[in-house]
Amino acid sequence: MPLTAEQSQEVETLREERQPTRREVAPALEELLYQPIPLLDHGFIRVIDYMGTDSAIVQAARVSYGRGTRKVNEDAGLINYLMRHRHTTPFEMCEIKFHIKLPIFIARQWIRHRTANVNEYSGRYSIMDKEFYIPAAEQLAAQSQSNRQGRGDVLKGREAARVLEILRKDAAQAYAHYGEMLNEDMDGNILQKGKTGLARELARMNLSLNFYTQWYWKIDLHNLLHFLSLRADAHAQYEIRIYAEAMLDILKRWLPVTHAAFMDYRMGGVSLSAKGLAVIKRLIAGEKVTQEQSGMSKGEWRELMESLQPAGSG
């Protein structure tokens, strides 16, 4: 389970505390503060702290002394302009800190986003929890034949059952051997008296990548939006995508105007090359254009044509 009874009580204690502040807060995000959002089988994400609101972005862009007296729609217009023209520094004025529990193999993918502050659970200092990620049956898919880093058809029947059996068996055995090498259980109790256990920093190397780790992850808004544009995309790996999708919901609570602009111009928009723009202009003019005439590669042409398909056309 994501949290123990003791941890849940700690969260409730934090949520009952009230701190006076003169800074502007996001009421919808305040309601969510500290609460874990369950993800995968044992993971979660929760907001620990944040700084800034939509008005902080506007304030930074205008370099004003306070919120000012402009109308909300004027502020939204400015944020839309900043997003549309990729003026990024005003978005750097907002920050957010998460507590995240996730499988190690996703953490290693996640850490490629280097523009954040990270502090991870230490397997040198503490014993790793006996929690490992086992995909749901519908997530067991074969290697894609067209995408080297994607999934293809879902495995069925005995093949799927065998994969799940291997994953569970290997993880359970790895943890059993981990405990044997440590000569300690999860509570730090000695298993065999008189026997010296292997150092924790060495014993952990036997654990597989589907075991869970935890970290605190703090990032400014500009870099968070970059993370979300990649990891909340439909082509992103499922296991990291659901964390990103949870963050999108958090973003909407925190910065509703920025969220709307981001969904419009970044997640819902398309970036065009000069050749792609030229093709669209020719199509609008009524010309018939082929891939060979466009000067675009087959992959670029396919992506452009897919982006021009009517919604719901598949």
CA Rg value for the chain: 24
Question: Exactly one of 67, 162, 231, 282 is catalytic; which is it?
Answer: 231
Sign of the CA dihedral 160, 161, 162, 167? positive
Distance CA 248, CA 263 (A): 9
Instruction: With H, G, I as helix, E, B as strand and everything else as coil, classify residue 271.
Output: coil
- CB-based contacts of 162, cutoff 8 Å, min separation 6: none
Distance CA 50, CA 196 (A): 45
> Strands, E, within 147-295: which ranges?
151-154, 212-220
Judged by phi (left if over 0) then psi (alpha if -120 to 50, else beta), residue 121 lies in: beta
Cβ count near 128 (within 10 Å): 22
- CB-based contacts of 59, cutoff 8 Å, min separation 6: 66, 67, 68, 93
Active site residue 124: no
The torsion of the CA quartet 103, 109, 114, 117, rounded to 10 degrees, works out to 0
- Catalytic positions, please? 231
